[in-house]
Amino acid sequence: MPSADDIQQIVQKYVELVAAHQPEAVADLFAADATIEDPVGSELKTDRAAFVEFYSVIAGMEETTSELLWSRVAGDTAVFEFRLRVATAGHGYEVQPVDIMTFGEDGKIATMRAVWNPATDIKIL
């Protein structure tokens, strides 16, 4: 099992890559049989093509920044909050999801669930 430090480094890398316009690199962090539920309650994404498509939406923004605000790691699980700011066509938006990730023995993300509500948690900048 990856150490707490290993998991923390993967979380930091994930937050950085989400804003780096590199959906393929983000998808590389996930196990082949991983699932993404973002936001919680939405349809599960269950394969690499779906992961790349999902993160490509963010990569398509003209400006993107992200910042890890806090994180906790216990066993194979990380919980963290990060700030994601995006801008396109002169409009800016911010969201601060709380993500819950579990990790496999290989250090790949096995599950990711993002806790946020699109109806109330998107801030217009």
Token pair recorded at residue 26: 């983000």
Q: What's the fold here for domain 4-124? A: Nuclear Transport Factor 2; Chain: A, (3.10.450)
Query: pLDDT tier at 102 (50, 70, 90 boundaries)?
Result: very high
Tell me if residue 36 falls in helix, strand or coil. strand
DSSP string, 80-119: EEEEEEEEETTEEEEE--EEEEEE-TTS-EEEEEEE--TT
Supply the residues annotated as catalytic.
14, 38
CA distances 54 to 2, 4, 18, 45, 98, Å, are 26, 27, 11, 8, 17
Write down the pTM of the prediction.
Answer: 0.96
Query: Can you give the residue ranges of every domain in the chain?
Result: 4-124
pLDDT tens per residue, range 44-98: 999 999 999 999 999 999 999 999 999 999 999 999 999 999 999 999 999 999 9
Distance CA 103, CA 99 (A): 13
